[in-house]
Every structure is written in structure tokens, then in C-alpha cells.
């Protein structure tokens, strides 16, 4: 065996499995298989089991096919993600099938086979499982197998590696006929344990759940070992023609490029970005074969459905890293890509094909730097990147031991623009109001900042939490990841008074998400003292954070917004005290007044670029707010000549509406100003203070 081969690990737990019924074992097997991206990609492949169930209509026993439903992911699926069909009804469909021209019609019959009124829609792969006469069936997309399947002599390689244990079938679009082909293969080869599907993936089967799982791992491991041995010492991708830049340089270039790309491809629909510079990516983008292999497109349908048929390869020489030249050439590069995609569409379309979709690339490959991917949300952008890494691995194996072949354009088109695929797209839920947008929230780990970030994420935005309090930042990020998922949130420790730190934090946001659309400038402090007792350090600290800090983050946001050319939103969290003076708080009130006036100045400057700047003025937000957790609470209580514990009630009674104000109330106003609900508002102030006549805006 070649050195440093990492095999798939058998993670089956007999003790755990012993307590499961057959559907439970199917779920267990599915989750184990989907947990390793070397076995199958996200959302790719499917699993099934044929289970004897009690028929609710007759009370008798019937055979039921449990199979991963449409749109699911085997790694994260739950039991309700499986479609269930009467096996005998599914078999009966063979009698009405008229041939390959009948494929789409047959999908419409699958709901008629539903067992127990299961609402989960059956996928087009259902016949591929139903017509294999074994209890358990796995269909996976392992890189090592697809590398065989995507080789020009894949049939010979399959025989060479697996002998008679694993058969081979030529490429065919998944559907009813491929199910019949699989059934016919098993009938002709009763001792075979599976099949390699040309340009697609692997099928394996057994009559026991554990045996099926172990067989799948064994077949993939055999391919992994074979490739390791065959590629050891071989030149990969024709050898390197460029060298990778240092990590910091790669990220800096990504930070510069991603907003430029995002702005150019996101005018019709906002896009979020993902950056990947892992070793597998760098080996490919630095290689001699980058352009010829990239032009061939991907092979497995799952790959190109997520990544488009081919990537855009950026013209960049890492030995002479001229990023300005890349930016200058982006418009032409994108124009050429869109023209070629339109050519592909027009060459391959049918009379009933759906209209051409977004012609922009999903994958951008940059020599010496890595891969950039863009999609309508962060998760999809990340998954697209993962899929292209799968494609790289496939090309690596196939081109080293044989000759790599992508799917012919017509076959690719017929899957990409399949009417059934279009119907699936049309069924997708309407995007949330802030989908595709990124919010940068300073003071993001405090009460108002945290509540705001949660409100924006709840409406589909991704957020960058910026805060100087590292412990609070880590805790907030962990909570957000648990509640909203890891794709929705990033954090940066930030002192808003440090110019270099502000610049670096925005660059980090660009690498992580592709850019920023919303700035919520909320970082704050508070201090209270009579003027004669106010020290210069206190005065400077208020001005530094509440005025200079707001200037620094706004300036960086403006620079980014203008590069993206997608408009932008800035919301300042100021204070009632910016409009209404308070005794013993001159430093705080003056800094807040400067903040409000800065917002108005920025509204004037940003209007021509569609950048809106508005202000929210809270008052007396005691609960959850970090500025009230220190001396400020005691100081304000003393100023009002009341006890600390009476402060909240004091502010409630002082308000016109006699209501307390909470962080969530401020967050609601910020969401309004950040969203298109306020698309025609800039330079405005919203007071969220339960009513204070002194702070009425003028």
C-alpha cells in the first residue's frame, strides 16, 4: 500500500444498532455514510431499505421501500426525510412504461405508490433502488469511484480493480430506465455486489444493513488504495507551473477580489462568497493542466448542478501579483464567460426548455491563491466549493491513471435544465427579506448588538459580530452557531478606535462572506460626571469610541460599498442624549451628538451611490446592555437622586408611553432601517425611547 493512505473508518456500532428497527438501521447507515465527504457529497447519493410493514388499509404485511426523499442529505437526514412506497405498486409501473421518452411522465406516478400517506416526495432515483432485488441499497458519489467513472476507459478500470464483484453501466440520466438497467444487470450477474455508473458514482447492495454499509466502505477503500498506488511518484496535473503565495497574501487578494466579483455578479440577485485555499485546490490552480481540465467541465451531475458546467479561471500570475490588473480585467472575463454560457444554452436547448438562468460563474479559480465560490447564500457557496473540490479530486485521479472526460454538453444541459429540476427550483421557498446580505455589527456581543444580529440573521442575513470583549464574543458566536448554523455567523475581536484593526476586520469579513451590505455601528461606552470633575482621559475615551470609532467603521464601509456598487446601509445606534442634553454627562452627550451629525453628513455623501445612512436613538435600555453593567448605572441613579434598583422603574415612569425599552425594541428599528421596508429613507432618526419630548427630532 502507498504511504499516507487514509482509509475510510468503519464506524458501525453493533451495540447501538441492535436496538434499532430496519428503518432505524437505514437512518443510522445513511448518517454514517453522509458524515464523510469522501463517501458522498452534501445532498448527493441516496440510500434505501425494503421493509415489511403493516398495511394501514388491510392490516396485513406488505413490502415497503424506504428511500431518501427528494432534496435530502444522507448525512443529516431524519426518518421523516425518507419517502415510503408500496414495493408492489412501484413494480407495477413497469407495465405502463413506454421507453426513455416516457421518463418524466413516470415520475408523476411515484406519488400513487405512497405508503401510509407519507408527505415526503420520492426522488427521481427511486426506481434505481426499487428495481434492485436486495433489501439494502447504497448509491454514493465517492471521489475515488467517480475518478474511475470519469475516465475514458472506466469500464476496463472497473474490471481491473474489482473484477466481477463490481459491474459497470454506461452513462444514463437517472430515472426509470436506469432503474430497469440496474435490475437487468443484477438478474444477469447475481453474484455481483454493485455497479460503477459511468460519469456518476457507485451502487452497492446487500440483504443486511451492516453488510451493505461495510461493503460500500470496502469498495471505496479498494479504489482509494488503488489510486494511491497508481499515482505514487506520478506527476499530478502536468506538474506545477506557479507557486502558491503565502497564506496572508492569499487571503489579502481574496479580500480584494471578492467584493469586486460580488458586485459584478450580484446586481440581479445578491450573492455571498466563500474562499478555499486547501492543498487540493492549490495543487490544481497552480498546475499546467488547470485550463484544459477546467474547460472540460465536471462529470458527476451533482457536481455541475452546484458549480455550473465549468469554472472561470482568473488570469493571474502569482510571480507578478498585480491585483489591480485582475480587477481591471473582471468585466471582460465575466462578459466572455456569460457569452459562452449563453452559447451552451442556445446550442443545447429544446423547444420546452426553461428560460436561461443566471449566466454568471459560480466557481472562480485563481493561480497561487485558491478558489472563490458565490451563491445566493453562504451555505450554498460553501457547498459549491466542496463540490468543486470533489471534482478536482476526480480529475486528479482520472487524469493521472487514464484520461479524464467531462459529461458532454448536451447531457449536462439535459440535467441542468431538466423540467423536473426546474419544478424543484420553483418549489423552493421565497427568500427571506435580507437573504444574500451581510451585516457587520460593532458591539455585537452586547445587549443591543446581540439582539440586532439575531434579528437580522432571522431575516436571512449573515452577520459579522465585532466586539472588544473576547469572552463575550466567543459566547455569543457559539450561541449563534447553535441556533442559526455555522454559515450564518463570524466574529472578529475589534477595538473600533484602532484604524488598522478596523481595516483588517472588514477585510476578514470580505474573505468570509464576499463583502458587506449593512453596517450597524453600535459599539459604545457611557460615563457620568460633572464637567469640573470630567477628566481629559474620560472625554477623549468617549470621543474616541463614539465619534472617531464610528467614523472609522463608516469610512471602511463606504470604501467597500463603493467597490461593490450595490448600494449599502449604515445604521448608527446613538442615544436620546445626542439630541437632549443631560446633566453630568457632557462627554457622552457631546460624543453622541457628533455621532448623529456624522450620520447626517454620511447620508449626504452616500446618496449618489445608493448608500443609506440612518440613526436609531435608544434610551434607558437597561436590560442586557453592557454600558449599564458598570458605574454608569450607579452614576445615573445618583444624578436622578434615586436608588439603583429603582432606576428602570424611574425611566419607565418618565417616558410618555410608560413603557420599558428593551434591546429587542432597538433591534426592530434597526431591522426596519436595514431592510427594503425603508428603501426611500436616509438621513433619518428613529427614537426608540417610549417617548421623550426633549428628544423629538428637529
Are residues 207 and 264 both part of a single domain? no
pLDDT score recorded for residue 656: 86
Spatial contact of 195 and 139, defined as CB atoms under 8 Å apart = no
Q: What is the 3-state secondary structure (H, E, C) of 178-233?
A: HHHHHHHHHHHCCCCCEEEECCCEEEEEECCHHHHHHHHHHHHHHHHHHHHHHHCC
Look at residue 242 and tell me if it is in a domain.
Answer: no
Are residues 421 and 442 both part of a single domain? no
Q: Does residue 139 sit in helix, strand or coil?
A: strand
Q: What is the DSSP string of 585-628?
A: BHHHHHHHHHHHHHHHHHHHHHGGGTEEEEEEEE----TT-GGG
Spatial contact of 204 and 212, defined as CB atoms under 8 Å apart = yes
Q: Does residue 441 sit in helix, strand or coil?
A: strand
Residue 213 falls in the annotated catalytic set: no
Report, as an integer, the average pLDDT of 107-123: 95
The sign of the dihedral angle between the CA atoms of 139, 145, 150, 151 is: negative
Are residues 592 and 560 both part of a single domain? yes
Are residues 547 and 599 both part of a single domain? yes
Q: What's phi and psi for 138, nearest 5 deg?
A: -115, 135
Band of residue 43 on the pLDDT scale cut at 50, 70, 90: confident
* Percentage, residues of the chain above pLDDT 70: 95
Spatial contact of 442 and 449, defined as CB atoms under 8 Å apart = yes
Which of 401, 427, 453 is at the close of a domain? 427
Average predicted confidence (pLDDT) for the chain = 93
Spatial contact of 598 and 547, defined as CB atoms under 8 Å apart = yes
Task: Give the Cα-Cα-Cα angle 636, 639, 645 (nearest 5 degrees).
Answer: 50
Distance linking the first and last C-alpha atoms of the chain: 79
Q: How far is the C-alpha of 43 from the C-alpha of 33, rounded, in Å?
A: 12
pLDDT digits (tens, 9 = 90+) for 529-549: 899 999 999 999 999 999 999
pLDDT score recorded for residue 630: 56
Are residues 449 and 335 both part of a single domain? no
Look at residue 384 and tell me if it is in a domain.
Answer: yes
* Percentage, residues of the chain above pLDDT 90: 84
Report, as an integer, the average pLDDT of 104-112: 95
CATH (domain of 252): 3.40.225
Look at residue 80 and tell me if it is in a domain.
Answer: yes
Residue 501 domain boundaries: 438-626+662-688
Q: How many domains does the chain have?
A: 3
CATH (domain of 526): 3.40.50.720
Spatial contact of 406 and 436, defined as CB atoms under 8 Å apart = no
Q: What is the 3-state secondary structure (H, E, C) of 520-553?
A: EECCCCCCCECHHHCCHHHHHHHHHHHHHHHHHH
In the numeric block, which cell numbers belong to residue 238? 502536468
Are residues 459 and 589 both part of a single domain? yes
pLDDT score recorded for residue 8: 97
Band of residue 627 on the pLDDT scale cut at 50, 70, 90: low
Are residues 290 and 214 both part of a single domain? no
Look at residue 538 and tell me if it is in a domain.
Answer: yes
Catalytic residue among 28, 345, 550, 588: 588
Q: Are strands 518-521 and 568-573 parallel, antiparallel or unpaired?
A: parallel
Q: How far is the C-alpha of 518 from the C-alpha of 444, rounded, in Å?
A: 13
Q: Does residue 70 sit in helix, strand or coil?
A: coil
pLDDT digits (tens, 9 = 90+) for 4-35: 789 999 999 999 999 999 999 999 999 999 99
Are residues 486 and 602 both part of a single domain? yes
Band of residue 404 on the pLDDT scale cut at 50, 70, 90: very high
Closest to 144 in 3D by CA, of 8, 340, 305, 275 = 8
pLDDT score recorded for residue 645: 62
516/628: higher pLDDT: 516
Look at residue 238 and tell me if it is in a domain.
Answer: no
Look at residue 288 and tell me if it is in a domain.
Answer: yes
Q: How far is the C-alpha of 155 from the C-alpha of 148, rounded, in Å?
A: 8
676/71: higher pLDDT: 676
Q: Whose grid coordinates read 470630567?
A: 534
pLDDT score recorded for residue 622: 57
Q: Whose grid coordinates read 451492516?
A: 210
Band of residue 696 on the pLDDT scale cut at 50, 70, 90: confident
Q: Whose grid coordinates read 506557479?
A: 242
Q: What is the DSSP string of 316-383?
A: --TTS--HHHHHHHHHHHHHHHHHHHHHHHHHH--TTPPPP---S-SEEEETTTEEEEEESSHHHHHH
Report, as an integer, the average pLDDT of 438-450: 96
Which residues have a Cβ under 8 Å from the Cβ of 674 and sit 6 or more positions away? Answer: 434, 439, 456, 461, 518, 520, 569, 571
588-622 as b/e, with b when 16 or more CB fall inside 10 Å? bbbbbbbbbebbbebbeebeeeebbbbbbbbbbbb
Closest to 626 in 3D by CA, of 457, 438, 475 = 475
Closest to 625 in 3D by CA, of 674, 662, 572 = 662
The number of helices, as runs of H, and strands, as runs of E, in the chain is 26, 18
Are residues 66 and 168 both part of a single domain? yes
Look at residue 643 and tell me if it is in a domain.
Answer: no
pLDDT score recorded for residue 655: 76
The sign of the dihedral angle between the CA atoms of 134, 138, 139, 141 is: negative
Look at residue 642 and tell me if it is in a domain.
Answer: no
Q: Does residue 509 sit in helix, strand or coil?
A: helix
Are residues 495 and 409 both part of a single domain? no
pLDDT score recorded for residue 5: 86
In the numeric block, which cell numbers belong to residue 630? 458598570
pLDDT digits (tens, 9 = 90+) for 629-678: 555 555 555 555 566 565 666 666 777 888 888 899 999 999 999 999 99
Spatial contact of 138 and 213, defined as CB atoms under 8 Å apart = yes
pLDDT score recorded for residue 625: 57
Which of 399, 427, 455 is at the close of a domain? 427
pLDDT digits (tens, 9 = 90+) for 201-215: 999 999 999 999 999
Q: What's phi and psi for 421, nearest 5 deg?
A: -70, -40
Q: How far is the C-alpha of 185 from the C-alpha of 158, rounded, in Å?
A: 15
Which of 203, 231, 259 is at the close of a domain? 231
Q: What's phi and psi for 46, nearest 5 deg?
A: -155, 165
Q: How far is the C-alpha of 18 from the C-alpha of 334, rounded, in Å?
A: 56
Q: Are strands 312-313 and 61-68 parallel, antiparallel or unpaired?
A: unpaired
Closest to 404 in 3D by CA, of 416, 412, 396 = 396
The sign of the dihedral angle between the CA atoms of 60, 63, 69, 72 is: positive
pLDDT digits (tens, 9 = 90+) for 274-315: 999 999 999 999 999 999 999 998 888 888 888 998 999 999
Are residues 452 and 409 both part of a single domain? no
Band of residue 425 on the pLDDT scale cut at 50, 70, 90: confident
Is the model's pLDDT at 697 over the cut of 80?
yes
Spatial contact of 308 and 361, defined as CB atoms under 8 Å apart = yes
pLDDT score recorded for residue 628: 52
Q: Does residue 277 sit in helix, strand or coil?
A: coil
pLDDT digits (tens, 9 = 90+) for 139-168: 999 999 999 999 999 999 999 999 999 999
Are residues 225 and 261 both part of a single domain? no
Amino acid at each position: 500500500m502507498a504511504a499516507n493512505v487514509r482509509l475510510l473508518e468503519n464506524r458501525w456500532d453493533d451495540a447501538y444498532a441492535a436496538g434499532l428497527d430496519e428503518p432505524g438501521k437505514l437512518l443510522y447507515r445513511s448518517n454514517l455514510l453522509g458524515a464523510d465527504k469522501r463517501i458522498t457529497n452534501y445532498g448527493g447519493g441516496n440510500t434505501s431499505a425494503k421493509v415489511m410493514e403493516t398495511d394501514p388499509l388491510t392490516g396485513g404485511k406488505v413490502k415497503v421501500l424506504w428511500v431518501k426523499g427528494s432534496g435530502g442529505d444522507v448525512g443529516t437526514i431524519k426518518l421523516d426525510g425518507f419517502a415510503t412506497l408500496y414495493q408492489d405498486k412501484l413494480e407495477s409501473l413497469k407495465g405502463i412504461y413506454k421507453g426513455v421518452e416516457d421518463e418524466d411522465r413516470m415520475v408523476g406516478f411515484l406519488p400513487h405508490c405512497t405508503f401510509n400517506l407519507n408527505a415526503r416526495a420520492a426522488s427521481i432515483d427511486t426506481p434505481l433502488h426499487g428495481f434492485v432485488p436486495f433489501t439494502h441499497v447504497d448509491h454514493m458519489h465517492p471521489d475515488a469511484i467517480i475518478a474511475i467513472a470519469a475516465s475514458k476507459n472506466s469500464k476496463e478500470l472497473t474490471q481491473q480493480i474489482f473484477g466481477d464483484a463490481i459491474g459497470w453501466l454506461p452513462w444514463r440520466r437517472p430515472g426509470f430506465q436506469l432503474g430497469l438497467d440496474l435490475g437487468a444487470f443484477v438478474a444477469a450477474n447475481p453474484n455481483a455486489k454493485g455497479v460503477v455508473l459511468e460519469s456518476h458514482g457507485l451502487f452497492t447492495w446487500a440483504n443486511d444493513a451492516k453488510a451493505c454499509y461495510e461493503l460500500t466502505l470496502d469498495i471505496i477503500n479498494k479504489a482509494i488504495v488503488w489510486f494511491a498506488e497508481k499515482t505514487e511518484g506520478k506527476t499530478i496535473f502536468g506538474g506545477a507551473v506557479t507557486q502558491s503565495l503565502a497564506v496572508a497574501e492569499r487571503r489579502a487578494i481574496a479580500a480584494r477580489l471578492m467584493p469586486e466579483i460580488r458586485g459584478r455578479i450580484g446586481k440581479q440577485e445578491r450573492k455571498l462568497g466563500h474562499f478555499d485555499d486547501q492543498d487540493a485546490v492549490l495543487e490544481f490552480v497552480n498546475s499546467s493542466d488547470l485550463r484544459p481540465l477546467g474547460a472540460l467541465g465536471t462529470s458527476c451531475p451533482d457536481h455541475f448542478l452546484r458549480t455550473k458546467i465549468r469554472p472561470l479561471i482568473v488570469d493571474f500570475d502569482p510571480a507578478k501579483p498585480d491585483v489591480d490588473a485582475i480587477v481591471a480585467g473582471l468585466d471582460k472575463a465575466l462578459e466572455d464567460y456569460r457569452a459562452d454560457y449563453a452559447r451552451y444554452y442556445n446550442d443545447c436547448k429544446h423547444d420546452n426548455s426553461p428560460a436561461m438562468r443566471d449566466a454568471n460563474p459560480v466557481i472562480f479559480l485563481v493561480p497561487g491563491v485558491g478558489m472563490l465560490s458565490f451563491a445566493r447564500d453562504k451555505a450554498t457557496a460553501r457547498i459549491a466549493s466542496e463540490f468543486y473540490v470533489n471534482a478536482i479530486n476526480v480529475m486528479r485521479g482520472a487524469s493521472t491513471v487514464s484520461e479524464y472526460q467531462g459529461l458532454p454538453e448536451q447531457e449536462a444541459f439535459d440535467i441542468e435544465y431538466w423540467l423536473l429540476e426546474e419544478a424543484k427550483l420553483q418549489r423552493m421557498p421565497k427568500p427571506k427579506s435580507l437573504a444574500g446580505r451581510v451585516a457587520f455589527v460593532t458591539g455585537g456581543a452586547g445587549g443591543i448588538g446581540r439582539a440586532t444580529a439575531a434579528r437580522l440573521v432571522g431575516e436571512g442575513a449573515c452577520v459579522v459580530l465585532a466586539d472588544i470583549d473576547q469572552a463575550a464574543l466567543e459566547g455569543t458566536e457559539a450561541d449563534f452557531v447553535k441556533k442559526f448554523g455555522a454559515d450564518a455567523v463570524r466574529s472578529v475581536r475589534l477595538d473600533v478606535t484602532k484604524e488598522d484593526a478596523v481595516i483588517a476586520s472588514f477585510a476578514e469579513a470580505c474573505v468570509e462572506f464576499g463583502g458587506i451590505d449593512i453596517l450597524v455601528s453600535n459599539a459604545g461606552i457611557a460615563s457620568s460626571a460633572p464637567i469640573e470633575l470630567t477628566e481629559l482621559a474620560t472625554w477623549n475615551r468617549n470621543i474616541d469610541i463614539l465619534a472617531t470609532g464610528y467614523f472609522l467603521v463608516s469610512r471602511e464601509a463606504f470604501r467597500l460599498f463603493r467597490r461593490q456598487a450595490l448600494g449599502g446601509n449604515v445604521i448608527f445606534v446613538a442615544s436620546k442624549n445626542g439630541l437632549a442634553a443631560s446633566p453630568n454627562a457632557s462627554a457622552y452627550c457631546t460624543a453622541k451628538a457628533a455621532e448623529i451629525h456624522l450620520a447626517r453628513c454620511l447620508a449626504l455623501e452616500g446618496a449618489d451611490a445608493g448608500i443609506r445612512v440612518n440613526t436609531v436613538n435608544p434610551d434607558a435600555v437597561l436590560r442586557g446592555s453592557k454600558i449599564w453593567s458598570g458605574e454608569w448605572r450607579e452614576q445615573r441613579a445618583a444624578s436622578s437622586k434615586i436608588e439603583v434598583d429603582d432606576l428602570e422603574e424611574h425611566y419607565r415612569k418618565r417616558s410618555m408611553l410608560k413603557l420599558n425599552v428593551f434591546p429587542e425594541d432597538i433591534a426592530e428599528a434597526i431591522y426596519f432601517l436595514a431592510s427594503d421596508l425603508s428603501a426611500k429613507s436616509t438621513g433619518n432618526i428613529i427614537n426608540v425611547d417610549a417617548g421623550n419630548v426633549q428628544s423629538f427630532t428637529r
